[in-house]
Amino acid sequence: MKIVVNGRPRTIEPKTTIAELLQMEGYGLQWVGVWVNDRQLLQKEYSTYTISEGDEIKIIRPLGGG
């Protein structure tokens, strides 16, 4: 199944969740924001949201400072 992650084309297995994608991409489940087709997901949705063919996904790590 073809999707786009942070502007890069990717091929993943059908029924992949956001949590599984984050693991494949080397991200932890905490400290990231995820948007699918310009809709921000809540962190509690990461393990239940199933990615669809053609989805455009943005994964963003917030920057900390002080």
Q: Would you list the domain boundaries of the chain?
A: 2-55
CATH code matching the domain that covers 2-55, chosen among 3.40.50.880, 3.10.20.30, 3.40.50.1980, 3.30.420.40 = 3.10.20.30
Report residue 28's pLDDT band, with 50, 70 and 90 as the boundaries.
Answer: confident
pLDDT digits 0-9 by tens, 47-64: 999 999 999 999 998 877
Cα separation of 10 and 2, whole Å?
6
Asked if residues 21 and 48 have their Cβ atoms less than 8 Å apart, the reply is no
With 0-12 / 13-18 / 19 or more C-beta atoms within 10 angstroms meaning exposed / middle / buried, residue 9 is: exposed
Report residue 25's pLDDT band, with 50, 70 and 90 as the boundaries.
Answer: very high
Q: Is the pLDDT of residue 65 over 70?
A: no
